[in-house]
Amino acid sequence: MSNAPAPSSPSAPLKLFNSLTRQLEEFQPVHPGEARVYSCGPTVYNYPHIGNMRAYVFADILGRTLSFKGYKLTHVINITDVGHLTDDADEGEDKMEKMARAEARSIWDIAQHYTQAYWEDIKALNIRQPARWTIATEYVPQMIAFAEKIADKHCYELDSGLYFDVSTVADYGRLARAQTEDGEGRIEAVEGKRNAADFAIWRKTPPGEKRQMEWDSPWGKGAPGWHLECSVMSGEVLGFPFDIHTGGIDHREIHHPNEIAQNQAFCCAGGLDLPANSGARVWMHNNFLVERSGKMSKSSGEFLRLQLLMDKGYHPLAYRMMCLQAHYRSELEFSWEGLGAALTRLKRMYKVVAVQMWKQFEETGQPVDPTNAYLPIPVDKWNAADKTGVLKDFSDALSDDLNTPKCLPLIEEVLGDKMIDNALRWHLLATMDQVLGLDLLRRNRTDLRIRPKSVEITEAEIEATLEARKAARAEKDFARSDTLRDELAAKGVEVMDGDPLGWEWKLA
């Protein structure tokens, strides 16, 4: 193992907040020049809500930053299609079984449907594909092998399953900063557990029952525990120890401490004073997106999923922008006003790009093809290419534990700086947008225009009305022109005289 420095870059070294030590730490890859990252994926029993998607926007920014800084990234996200109970701490039913019953469909159907829906949200939010999606049910033999390896020393069998004895590893719960006995009474429901925090790594199918998903094992027919899945998939694909493990802050309390305990047992390693003993050197957690009215709950009728935002006329990238405006470790409160403001900010950026490109076209007579003509500037060329020094500031902001709120004004600075030569402007934006993924040079402002579901009028009808209005104005019939504008307004369309875009949906 080597503590290789980050690939040469003129900016500050990358520092990330490690939940294990509760400190900012300079990133030191396990394998020189590489970064191996595992993110806890969704349990695919329902649509993801936008809070869940915040976790993947965060993981995406982390991955893009590592690539930007020159590391060869291997990112893995899992799909949990078995084993996650309704209570993270070993109680309740399997979420997938429960949903399958409620919808009278097979679990495999449910898993396929909601995995697809999740992948659509990933795409809509411009989240890069990881190197691997690992599907839990495809790793069951490896899970059994892992459990067999640790069973003798660290587990005991009860009627309901194979349990992990948390007293057999050093420092159990350090990640959560758990006061060992405190607050864990709620986990004691399983009779015979040695410690309140012990958890099932294999859940046996009760006698006389048949589960839709079950496998043979040395402990009888049953299914793996959710914590076991992530230990196995991360270790299998990335190798222990790997660099960074991510998840939402709720995972810091139970899921990740349990993964860490299993990893310690599997690697035969001691306590957590050596962070590598936990399986990953760095554990990172995004804070929650919160919504006060309860619409984030998947059990509420109209819960906050990305499709709902689109139905109301908000482009998914407005939500990405909203996430980037907050630091990932801060709680982010959702509001429609906040989302509207994020959309407006993004539209402004797109508009300045369009205006500047139009000017360039007028000056040169050459159509501007920003995507292909203006590539990101490689790290080793920053000093020579970037006279403004903005890339160093941008990279420093990312080095400061992925401070995206500090990055956004730098983009605006580049957009607004009249002294920068246009070609350099596009190269700078291409470089920064590699990380932020706002598609600044790839899309037009019209792409952000999504028809709200409640609006009946079609875009063709709007264009026709605008033509009629233009004719009325040419004839100086301003009364008719105003009437047509009011008619459009009543149908949710705002006419913006003087704006090259011409019209916008009025969002509620």
- Interface ranges with ligand AMP (CB under 6 A): 40, 42-43, 51-52, 54-55, 247-248, 250-251, 286, 288-289, 296
CB of 254 to ligand AMP, least distance (A): 11
CB of 38 to Zn ion, least distance (A): 8
Non-local CB neighbours of 404 within 8 Å, separated by 6+ positions: 61, 324, 325, 327, 328, 397, 398, 436
Among ligand AMP, Zn ion, none, residue 233 binds (CB under 5-8 Å by kind): none
Among ligand AMP, Zn ion, none, residue 250 binds (CB under 5-8 Å by kind): ligand AMP
- Cβ atoms < 10 Å from Cβ of 458: 10
Residue nearest to ligand AMP (CB): 248
The residue written with tokens 């605006």 in the block is: 412
- CB of 58 or CB of 219, closer to ligand AMP: 58
- CB of 230 or CB of 397, closer to Zn ion: 230
> Among candidates 447, 464, 455, 449, which has minimal Cα distance to 489?
455
Among Zn ion, ligand AMP, none, residue 134 binds (CB under 5-8 Å by kind): none
Stretch that binds Zn ion, among 39-47, 65-73, 378-386, 430-438 (CB under 5 A): 39-47
Write the single-letter amino acid at 85. Answer: L
CB of 88 to Zn ion, least distance (A): 10
Among Zn ion, ligand AMP, none, residue 288 binds (CB under 5-8 Å by kind): ligand AMP
CB of 58 to ligand AMP, least distance (A): 8
CB of 218 to ligand AMP, least distance (A): 28
CB of 52 to Zn ion, least distance (A): 13
Q: Is residue 299 within 8 Å of 293, Cβ to Cβ?
A: no
> Among candidates 130, 386, 156, 99, which has minimal Cα distance to 237?
130
| Tokens, residue 351 | 């508009």
Candidate list 66, 230, 379, 411; residue touching Zn ion; CB under 5 A: 230
- CB of 40 or CB of 135, closer to Zn ion: 40
Non-local CB neighbours of 242 within 8 Å, separated by 6+ positions: 30, 36, 37, 38, 234, 279, 280, 281
- Please give the full DSSP string across 258-303, using - where no structure is assigned: HHHHHHHHHHT---TTSGGGGSEEEEEEEPPEE-TTSTTSTTSSS-
Alpha-carbon distance of 221 to 323, in angstroms, equals 43
Write the single-letter amino acid at 455. Answer: V
- CB of 320 or CB of 425, closer to ligand AMP: 320
Here's the x/- map for Zn ion, 449-468, by CB under 5 A: it reads as --------------------
CB of 331 to ligand AMP, least distance (A): 9
Angle at 65 between CA 433 and CA 442, to 5 degrees: 20
Alpha-carbon distance of 267 to 280, in angstroms, equals 12
- Distance from the Cα of residue 44 to its chain's centroid: 15
CB of 319 to ligand AMP, least distance (A): 12
Q: Is 391 in the site for Zn ion (CB under 5 A)?
A: no
Q: Is 40 in the site for Zn ion (CB under 5 A)?
A: yes
Among Zn ion, ligand AMP, none, residue 230 binds (CB under 5-8 Å by kind): Zn ion
- CB of 118 or CB of 394, closer to ligand AMP: 118
Non-local CB neighbours of 91 within 8 Å, separated by 6+ positions: 85, 186, 187, 189, 190
- CB of 40 or CB of 89, closer to Zn ion: 40
- Using CB under 5 A as the criterion, which residues of the chain lie in contact with Zn ion when the complex forms? 40, 230
